[in-house]
């Protein structure tokens, strides 16, 4: 088996992220399978797949090159380390390119072996999404929306390292108040049936103060909402909003979070379709 064949086989068997017309293939990451409503149809639906398993769902804003939200299930404890092996989504640049969530250099290698050869890959990727260079010499973290600490195994952790699941976050917020929000969910989910909590974490992608390299929006706010069924069948829900400029976190209800989102996106937003 030559190197190219091995590389392509590894793509097929290892990591995929699919840009799709809807979330039907990965609606299991939304509470009761209900996808949030009110967001623009111009945003892109990504079913994030890795090791032949869907791990979470992302709504992506290609104009501002950051995710609107990522939806996932926080079910088990999440011990283990992390790495910074960040990938991009080829199909955001061209629907005819591989489904694979991969490093840009691997995508260029793929293009070099097509007949005819695919050119202009870096330019098309740069035009459609954030790349690693956008975060160089910047004071902002690549802030996970679906965080590594909420995943229970190596495959699930690795799947979060796509730049379609990250937005520029103030270092003080990401490593301080927002980290506390992520940690608090550990205790909250213990009250959920089967310890299964449905979480949607996102940004105010259309409300931003600046753009990194005049490309990637720095959202003014980040937010997160959780919903689950308690053991007795009642509904447990909560939300938090983080100010990415002032580095302040405010705990709110889901209804208040939805009201703020409706203002930011100029549309009536419902995260859990009235179930939470």
In this structure, is residue 71 part of a structural domain?
yes
pLDDT of 112-165, one tens digit each? 999 899 999 999 999 999 999 999 889 999 999 999 888 888 888 888 999 999
In this structure, is residue 18 part of a structural domain?
yes
In this structure, is residue 168 part of a structural domain?
yes
In this structure, is residue 270 part of a structural domain?
no
Whether residue 16 has pLDDT greater than 90: no
Mean pLDDT of the 252-264 span: 98
Q: Which of 97, 162, 92, 156 is nearest to 132 (CA)?
A: 162
Q: Is 155 exposed, middle or buried (0-12, 13-18, 19+ CB in 10 A)?
A: middle
Mean pLDDT of the 215-240 span: 96
In this structure, is residue 211 part of a structural domain?
yes
How confident is the model at residue 3, as a pLDDT? Answer: 46
Domain that holds residue 71: 3-265
Whether residue 215 has pLDDT greater than 90: yes
In this structure, is residue 150 part of a structural domain?
yes
pLDDT of 71-87, one tens digit each? 999 976 555 666 778 99
CATH assignment at residue 230: 3.40.570.10
Q: Which of 76, 124, 84, 77 is nearest to 104 (CA)?
A: 124
> CA-CA distance, 141 to 148, in Å (whole number)?
14
Question: How many residues comprise the chain?
Answer: 276
In this structure, is residue 165 part of a structural domain?
yes
pTM: 0.91
In this structure, is residue 276 part of a structural domain?
no
DSSP 74-114: E-S---S------BB-HHHH-TTS-S--B-HHHHHHHHHTS
Confidence of residue 180 (pLDDT cuts 50, 70, 90): very high
Q: How many domains does the chain have?
A: 1
How confident is the model at residue 18, as a pLDDT? Answer: 80
Phi and psi based region of residue 73 (left: phi greater than 0; alpha: psi -120 to 50; beta: remaining): beta
């Amino acid at each position: 088996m030559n190197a190219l064949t091995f590389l392509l086989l590894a793509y097929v068997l290892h990591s995929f992220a699919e840009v799709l017309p809807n979330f039907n293939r990965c609606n299991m990451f939304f509470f009761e399978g209900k996808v949030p409503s009110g967001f623009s149809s111009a945003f892109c639906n990504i079913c994030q797949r890795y090791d032949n398993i869907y791990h979470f769902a992302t709504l992506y804003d290609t104009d501002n090159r950051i995710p609107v939200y990522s939806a996932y299930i926080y079910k088990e404890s999440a011990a283990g380390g992390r790495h910074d092996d960040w990938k991009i989504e080829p199909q955001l640049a061209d629907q005819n390119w591989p489904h694979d969530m991969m490093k840009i250099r691997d995508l260029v290698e793929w293009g070099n072996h097509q007949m005819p050869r695919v050119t202009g890959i870096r330019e098309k990727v740069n035009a459609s999404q954030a790349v690693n260079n956008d975060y160089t010499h910047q004071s902002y973290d690549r802030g996970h929306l679906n965080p590594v600490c909420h995943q229970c195994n190596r495959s699930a952790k690795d799947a979060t390292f796509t730049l379609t699941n990250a937005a520029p976050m103030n270092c003080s917020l990401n490593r301080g108040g927002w980290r506390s929000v992520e940690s608090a969910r550990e205790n909250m989910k213990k009250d959920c049936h089967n310890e299964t909590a449905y979480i949607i974490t996102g940004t105010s992608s259309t409300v931003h103060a600046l753009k990194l390299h005049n490309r990637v929006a720095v959202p003014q706010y980040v937010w997160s909402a959780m919903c689950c069924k308690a053991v007795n069948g009642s509904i447990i829900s909560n939300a938090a909003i983080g100010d990415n400029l002032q580095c302040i976190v405010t705990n709110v209800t889901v209804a208040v979070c939805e009201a703020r989102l409706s203002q930011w996106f100029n549309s009536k937003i419902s995260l859990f379709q009235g179930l939470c």
